[in-house]
Amino acid sequence: MRSIAQHLPDDLRACLDPDAPGIRLLASSWYPARLAHLILDALSEGLTEQQIQTMSRDATRDIVKRGTSSIYGFVLRRLITPEMYALSVARLWRQWHDTGDREVRVTSATTAQSKVLRWGGHHPVLCTITIETMCAVFEAMGCKSVTWQRTACVARGAKECATLLEWK
């Protein structure tokens, strides 16, 4: 982290705690998307798309697992359904992002379509992290063999980011 922080512009370096053992953003309010982009660029430098997907998958599974190891895990496994997730995803999105609109539509008993529109803070790695986080949450809900296919992405010239999610 110290290496990444040393290469940041002064205005962004002030948002980080470079002495922390991991990436630690200083608690305040929103931080600039430009900061997230620079950190993601540094973390993914030299990685293939498959390696970025694996890194994102491993990280999100670990975060969701740690976040659901208490009563939240019980609630997620026993009470929350893909339909309930779809109904609340826009509100959850706004808790983490100050741009963009997120929607998820469950299209069958084993599929859902996710879209992110008007996302000014889009970054290709963050887009993959968003998808993998959704998969990790669906797995925590008890969905099995969760897979995804990116059907559109702003980084590839599309107007929006779209993903097809499937599970058993």
* H or E segment to which residue 87 belongs: helix 82-96
Pairwise CA distance, residues 51 & 140, whole Å: 23
Indicate the pTM of the whole model: 0.84
Q: What is the mean pLDDT of the chain?
A: 88
Minimal CA–CA distance to 124: which of 22, 64, 23, 56?
A: 56
- State what percent of residues in the chain have pLDDT above 90: 61
Minimal CA–CA distance to 137: which of 70, 67, 71, 87?
A: 67
pLDDT at 128 (0 to 100): 97
Tell me the pLDDT tens digit for each residue of 9-36: 777 877 776 666 665 555 555 678 888 8
Whether residue 112 is predicted with pLDDT greater than 70 in this model: the reply is: yes
- In terms of CATH architecture, what is 48-166? Alpha-Beta Complex (3.90)
pLDDT at 86 (0 to 100): 97
Whether residue 106 contacts residue 82, with contact meaning beta carbons closer than 8 Å, is answered with: yes
Domain ranges of the chain: 2-41, 48-166
Which residues 6+ apart lie within 8 Å of 68 measured at CB? 76, 77, 140
Tell me the pLDDT tens digit for each residue of 137-162: 999 999 999 999 999 999 999 999 99
pLDDT (average), residues 103-111? 98
CB under 8 Å, gap of 24 or more: what pairs does 79-87 form?
80/141, 81/141, 82/106, 82/112, 82/138, 82/141, 82/143, 85/137, 85/138, 85/141, 86/112
Minimal CA–CA distance to 147: which of 130, 129, 134, 162?
A: 134
